[in-house]
Amino acid sequence: MTRDVSFAPDSFVHESSYIDDPCSIGVGTRIWHFSHVLSGSKIGQGCTIGQNVVIGPDAIIGDRCKLQNNVSIYKGVQLEDGVFCGPSCVFTNVLNPRAEIERKDEFKPTYVRRGATIGANATIVCGVQIGAWSLIAAGAVVTKSVPDYALMAGVPAKRIGWVSEAGITLNDDLICPVDGSRYEEVDGHLQRIRRRQ
């Protein structure tokens, strides 16, 4: 672990992990065994970073994100608040990599919006946007951008339903059985119906 990096109060970094300088680690964030945060990366508050996680360089992670074991967040990947990355899920950053051809100037950005869940061993091909509150099934391969609230599965991933902000598959009535929240589908996209004050 780099000793000249300042950490926010109540953050924790396991002694087996490495934190490069400069980077930013938010209040209450915990980084566990054998992980590496590369320079220029920003990690928000209240995050949990599992074992053997690599972040960066220059990656951005919002508040309250959970990255399970063996996840790599490369340059060009940005996670908004509340994103869950399941064990060994994969992000790419080049569409046609070759070992003998340098393509760092061809990195494609990938955005994961608020509250999205990416299941274990799912692969996110670079250059896409993962919509807010969407759920990517374990083992899925995402090759195109994902709408908000979409439930995606398969290779390549296809939308097989909708999920609520609670992460529950919605029935035809589009009412979450857990919290009673209501949704409506408009032009192939789902949106939550907000109550008027």
Query: Cα–Cα distance between 85 and 172 in angstroms, integer?
Result: 28
pLDDT tens per residue, range 129-152: 999 999 999 999 999 999 999 999
Return the ∠ at Cα 134 (arms to 79 and 110), rounded to 5°.
Answer: 35
Average pLDDT value for the chain: 94
User: How distant, in Å, are the alpha carbons of 35, 129, 158, 159, 182 from that of 126?
Assistant: 22, 9, 17, 18, 32
Q: Give the residues across from 75 on adjacent strands.
A: none
Q: Is 87 exposed, middle or buried (0-12, 13-18, 19+ CB in 10 A)?
A: middle
pLDDT tier at 2, thresholds 50, 70, 90: very low
pTM: 0.93
Residue 7: pLDDT over 60 = yes
pLDDT of residue 4: 43
